[in-house]
Copies of this chain bind each other. A is one copy, B any other.
Amino acid sequence: MEKINLEKKLGLFKETWTPKIISEINGQHVKLAKLHGEFVWHNHAAEDELFYIIQGTLIIEFRDKVVELNAGEMIVVPAGVDHKPIAHEEVHVMLIEPAAIKHTGDVQHELTKEKLEWI
C-alpha cells in the first residue's frame, strides 16, 4: 500500500493509446494513458468507464453530441454507449474501469491492446 504520484507514473512511458495500470480498487483498474490523435468508435457492453483529464483537452464524440473535457474535468461513459475519443494535442488521462474490460470493446482494430502493463 504505497502512494502513487500521477506525474511520476506518467514519466515512465511515452506510447499513446496504451493505458498502463497503476492501481486496483474493488475489481476495477485505475489506469493512466496518453492520447494523441483519433481513437476508434467503440463501446463497452457491460462496463462504465471514467475519464479524468490530467493535462490537455480531450474531445469525446458520442452518437448524439460532442463533449470537450479539460484538465480537472471528468466524465463517466455508461456501459453500452458508443464513444470516440479525440486528442488534437497530447492528453494525459486517468481511467477507471473494471479489470475485465476490453480496450476497444468488441471492435478489433490496429489500436487494440490485448494485455495492459502495470507500471
Contacts and interface: CB of A to CB of B under 8 A. Distances in A.
A25 interface: yes
B23 A76 contact: yes
Given A3-B67, A81-B1, A25 B76 contact: yes
A69 B7 CA distance: 13
Contact of A25 (B5, B7, B48, B67): B48
Interface residues of A, number: 32
Given A1-B77, A4-B75, A26 B98 contact: yes
Nearest to A75: B3
A56 interface: no
A74 B47 CA distance: 23
A106 interface: no
Contacts of A4: 73-75
A41 interface: no
7 contacts: A1-B78, A4-B74, A4-B75, A23-B50, A25-B48, A25-B49, A25-B97
B26 A47 contact: yes
A25 B1 contact: no
